A and B are shown apart, each in its own frame.
Chain A
Amino acid sequence: MLNIRLFRNEIKRVPGIAYGIIIVMVIFAFTARNFMNPVNLENILRNAAILLVISIGGTMAILAGKIDLSIGGIATLSGMIGGIYLKSIPEPNAFNVLISILISIAVGSAVGAFNGFMIGYRGYDNWLITFSTMSIAFGLAQTITGGNIVSGFNRTVRFIGSGQIFGIRVLLILTFIVVGVMIFVMHRTRFGLHVYAVGDSETCAKVSGVNVKKTLFMVYLLSGLFAGLCGFLLLSKTNSVGPTTGDGYEFNAIAAIIVGGTTFDGGKGGLGSTVFGALFITIVKNGLQLIGLSVFWQQACVGFFILGIILVNALNEKRAVKNAKRRIYHD
Chain B
Amino acid sequence: MVGHEIMLDIKNLYKSFPGVIAVNDVSFQIRKGEVHVLIGENGAGKSTLVKMLAGIYSIERGSLILDGEPYAPQSVIEARAKGISIIHQELNMMTNRTVAQNVFVGREPLKGNLGLVDVKTMNIECQRILDSLQLDIRSTTLVKDLSIAQQQMVELTKAISMNNKVLIMDEPTSSLTSKEISNLFQVVKRLKSQGVSIIYISHRMEEIPVIGDRVTVMRDGCFIGTRDVSSLEMQELITMMVGRKIEDVYNREYLVPGEEVIRTEGLTGLRFRNVSISARKNEVVGIAGLVGAGRTEIAKALFGYDPIEKGRIILKGKDIPVKKHNPIAAIRSGIAFLPENRKEEGLFLSMPIRKNISQVVLKRLFRNGIIRESLEKKIAKDAISKMRIMTTSDEKLVNELSGGNQQKVVVAKWLTTNSDLVIFDEPTRGIDVGAKSEIYGLINEMARNGKAVIIISSDMPELIGLADRIYTIKDGEVTGLLEHNPETGFDQEKIMSLIIEGGNVEHQAV
Q: Do A and B come from one complex?
A: yes
Q: Least Cβ distance of A63 to chain B in Å?
A: 10
B117 touches A205 (CB 8 A): no
Question: In the complex, which residues of chain B have a beta carbon less than 8 angstroms from the beta carbon of A205?
Answer: 94, 105-106
Interface of A is mostly: helix
Given contacts A190-B117, A209-B106, contact A328 B93 (CB under 8 A): no
- CB pair B144–A324 under 8 Å, yes or no, is yes
A328 surroundings in chain B (CB, below 8 A):
146-148
Which residues of A from 311 to 331 have beta carbons under 8 Å from B? 322, 324-331
Residue of B nearest to A212 (CB): B106
Partner of B115, one of A189, A200, A209, A322: A189
Name which of A131-139, A191-199, A231-239 contacts chain B.
Answer: A191-199
Bound Cα distance from A196 to B142, whole angstroms: 13
- Please encode chain A, from 197 to 238, with 1 for each CB lying within 8 Å of some chain B CB and 0 for all others: 100110111111110000000000000000000000000000
Instruction: Tell me the chain A residues, 77-98 only, with Cβ under 8 Å from chain B.
Output: none
CA distance A44 to B80 in the complex (A): 52
Asked if B273 is at the interface of the complex by the 8 Å CB criterion, the answer is yes
Which residue among A192, A322, A327, A329 has the maximum number of chain B CB atoms within 10 Å of its CB?
A: A329
The reply to whether B145 and A324 contact each other, CB–CB distance below 8 Å, is: yes
Which of A189, A204, A209, A324 has a CB less than 8 Å from the CB of B92? Answer: A204
B93, B96, B108: residue with the most chain A Cβ atoms closer than 10 Å: B96
Are A201 and B270 in contact, CB atoms less than 8 angstroms apart?
A: no
B318 at the interface (CB under 8 A from A): no
- A12 part of interface (Cβ distance < 8 Å): no
CB-based contact B145/A267 at 8 Å: no
Asked if B92 contacts A330 (CB within 8 A), the reply is no
**A330 and B476 contact, Cβ closer than 8 Å, known pairs A197-B94, A209-B77, A324-B145:** yes
Say whether A203 contacts B107, CB under 8 Å.
no
A8 within 8 A of partner (CB): no
Contact present for A197 and B105 (CB under 8 Å) = yes
Known: A190-B108, A193-B108, A330-B476. A209 touches B116 (CB 8 A): no
A33 within 8 A of partner (CB): no
Assess whether B316 is interfacial by the CB under 8 Å rule: no
**B101: interface (CB < 8 Å):** yes
Asked if A285 lies at the interface with its beta carbon under 8 angstroms from chain B, I say no
Q: Say yes or no: A327 contacts B145, CB within 8 Å.
A: yes
Q: Are B270 and A325 in contact (CB under 8 A)?
A: yes
Residues facing B in A155-213 (CB within 8 A) are 188-194, 196-197, 200-201, 203-210
Bound: A171/B447 CA distance, A: 75
B270 contacts A322, C-beta separation under 8 Å = yes
The A267-320 residues at the B interface (CB cut-off 8 A) are: 267-268
**Pair B117/A204 contact, Cβ less than 8 Å:** no
Give Cα distance in the complex from A210 to B94, angstroms.
13
Residue contact B108 to A267, C-beta cutoff 8 Å: no
Q: Tell me, in angstroms, the Cα distance from A326 to B294 when the chains sit together.
A: 12
Across the two chains, which residue of chain B brings its CB closest to A329? B271
Q: Which residue of A lies closest to B88 (CB)?
A: A207
Q: Which of A193, A194, A203, A322 has its CB near the most chain B CB atoms (within 10 A)?
A: A193
Inter-chain contact A329/B475, CB cutoff 8 Å: yes
Q: Does B364 contact A (CB under 8 A)?
A: no
Number of B residues with CB within 8 Å of any CB on chain A? 35
Hey, which chain A residues are within 8 Å of B147, CB to CB?
327-328, 331
Majority-rule SS of B interface residues: loop
Q: A188 contacts B94, CB within 8 Å?
A: no
Closest chain A CB from B129 CB (angstroms): 16
Which residues on the B side are within 8 Å of A194 (C-beta)? Answer: 105-106
Which residues on the B side are within 8 Å of A197 (C-beta)? 94, 97, 101, 105-106
B95 within 8 A of A: yes
Q: Does chain A have a CB within 8 A of B114?
A: yes
Assess A189 versus B114: contact at CB under 8 Å? Given A200-B97, A205-B105, A207-B56.
yes
Given A208-B106, A210-B105, A324-B144, A201 and B92 contact (CB-CB distance below 8 Å): yes
Residues on A with C-beta less than 8 A from B144 are 324
* B residues in contact with A206, CB < 8 Å: 76
**Cβ–Cβ contact B117 & A330, under 8 A:** no
Q: How far is the CA of A188 from the CA of B101 in the complex (A)?
A: 12
CB distance from A268 to the nearest CB of B (A): 5
B80 contacts which chain A residues (CB < 8 A)? 209
Given known A-B contacts A197-B105, A208-B106, A188 and B475 have beta carbons under 8 A apart: no
Query: Nearest Cβ distance between residue B379 and chain A, in whole angstroms?
Result: 35
Q: Does B106 contact A188, Cβ atoms closer than 8 Å?
A: no
In the complex, the chain A residue whose C-beta lies closest to that of B145 is A324
Distance between Cα atoms of A93 and B80 in the complex (Å): 55
Interface check B232, CB cutoff 8 A:
no
Given known contacts A267-B96, A324-B144, A329-B475, is B105 in contact with A208 (CB within 8 Å)? yes
Distance between A57 CB and nearest chain B CB, rounded to angstroms? 19
B110 CB–A CB distance under 8 Å: yes
Least Cβ distance of B350 to chain A in Å? Answer: 15
Q: Which residues of the other chain, B, contact A329 by a CB distance below 8 angstroms?
A: 270-271, 294, 475-476
Q: How far, in angstroms, from A191 to B106 measured CA to CA in the complex?
A: 10
12 pairs from A and B in contact (CB 8 Å cutoff): A189-B115, A190-B116, A192-B117, A193-B101, A193-B117, A200-B94, A200-B96, A209-B107, A268-B96, A324-B145, A328-B146, A328-B147
Q: Which 9 residue pairs of A and B lie closest in terms of their CB atoms, listed nearest first?
A: A209-B106, A200-B94, A208-B106, A209-B77, A208-B105, A210-B106, A267-B96, A204-B92, A328-B147
Given contacts A205-B106, A208-B76, 19 further A-B contacts (CB under 8 A): A189-B114, A189-B117, A190-B110, A191-B115, A192-B117, A193-B101, A196-B97, A196-B101, A200-B96, A200-B97, A203-B92, A205-B105, A209-B106, A267-B97, A324-B145, A328-B147, A328-B148, A329-B271, A330-B476
